[in-house]
């Protein structure tokens, strides 16, 4: 077999895959190769793009309304837990809800001798209290102390903390919360001005945190930062 033969084989296989001609076993074997071979993936994308003009023959048909309702019920079982989009929060409609769950917490300031003297706090809580995290920020130290009082990450996932500055265009990650209930996060200098008046939120993400730099999983809890 020459290299050209091998290439032609891959072109053919990629075409058979794109047309969905392979049986289930062949398809699985080919998909295992796709995971490992970017060049093969490109061949499949190329076929899909080149064949897609045939899709003009699929005549449009408006689906019944019930289908969208079923999809929403599968994806967003609202009775279970809030999975608000941070974008919704940013666009204001959910800000009231976020504020409603954020309660002013009086910290035991006389807990001497700790030098940690917070002036800003937020209770980041799920609507049903299934996840409650108390965050407090002490300007003298630059430390944001995060105390997970209830709840945990779903199995196989991690909790990631986000800061949405007042009027900001996008949330900024403050990192993945460790398994420990209490953790101290040293805020980067450029984020310190953003914390007052900001909103903190926790999403569930793949292990290692959001791969994109923005939340990819459900937003489990939110809380506005308030002054004490």
Q: State the residues that interact with another protein by CB under 8 A.
A: 8, 11-12, 15-16, 18-21, 23-24, 41-42, 45, 47-64, 66-68, 70-71, 74-76, 83, 85-88, 203, 211-212, 214-219
CB of 91 to another protein, least distance (A): 8
Nearer of residues 8 and 149 to another protein, judged by Cβ: 8
Nearer of residues 20 and 111 to another protein, judged by Cβ: 20
CB of 220 to another protein, least distance (A): 12
**All residues at 6 or more sequence positions from 206 whose CB lies less than 8 Å from its CB, including other chains:** 157, 158, 216, 217
CB of 96 to another protein, least distance (A): 17
Nearer of residues 47 and 116 to another protein, judged by Cβ: 47
CA angle 10, 15, 21 (to 5 degrees): 115
Q: Alpha-carbon distance 226 to 99, whole Å?
A: 10
CB of 18 to another protein, least distance (A): 8
Per the listing, tokens 């779903």 go with 154
Phi, psi dihedrals of residue 73, rounded to the nearest 5°: -65, -35
CB of 86 to another protein, least distance (A): 7
CB of 224 to another protein, least distance (A): 20
Q: Alpha-carbon distance 18 to 103, whole Å?
A: 54
Nearer of residues 15 and 139 to another protein, judged by Cβ: 15
**All residues at 6 or more sequence positions from 139 whose CB lies less than 8 Å from its CB, including other chains:** 119, 120, 192
**Under a CB-based contact definition with an 8 Å cutoff, are residues 137 and 187 in contact?**
yes
**Under a CB-based contact definition with an 8 Å cutoff, are residues 201 and 88 in contact?**
no
Nearer of residues 214 and 226 to another protein, judged by Cβ: 214
Nearer of residues 56 and 180 to another protein, judged by Cβ: 56
DSSP letters for 138-168: ETTTTEEEEEEEE--PPTTEEEEEEEE-TT-
């Amino acid at each position: 077999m020459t290299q050209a033969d091998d290439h032609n084989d891959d072109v053919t296989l990629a075409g058979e895959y794109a047309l969905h001609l392979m049986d289930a076993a062949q398809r699985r074997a080919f998909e295992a190769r796709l995971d490992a071979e970017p060049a093969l993936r490109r061949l499949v994308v190329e076929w899909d793009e080149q064949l897609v003009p045939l899709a003009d023959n699929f005549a449009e048909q408006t689906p019944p309304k019930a289908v969208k309702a079923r999809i929403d019920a599968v994806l967003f079982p609202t009775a279970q837990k809030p999975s608000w989009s941070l974008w919704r929060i940013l666009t204001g409609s959910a800000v009231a809800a976020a504020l409603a769950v954020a309660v002013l917490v009086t910290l035991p300031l006389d807990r001497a001798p700790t030098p940690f003297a917070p002036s800003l706090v937020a209770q980041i809580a799920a609507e049903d209290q299934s996840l409650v995290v108390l965050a407090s920020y002490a300007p003298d130290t630059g430390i944001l102390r995060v105390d997970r009082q209830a709840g945990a990450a779903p199995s196989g996932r991690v909790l990631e903390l986000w800061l949405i500055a007042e009027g900001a265009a996008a949330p900024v990650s403050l990192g993945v919360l460790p398994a420990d209930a209490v953790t101290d996060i040293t805020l980067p200098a450029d984020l310190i001005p953003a914390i007052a008046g900001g909103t903190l939120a926790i999403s569930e993400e793949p292990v290692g945190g959001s791969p994109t730099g923005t939340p990819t999983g459900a937003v489990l809890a939110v809380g506005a930062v308030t002054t004490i």
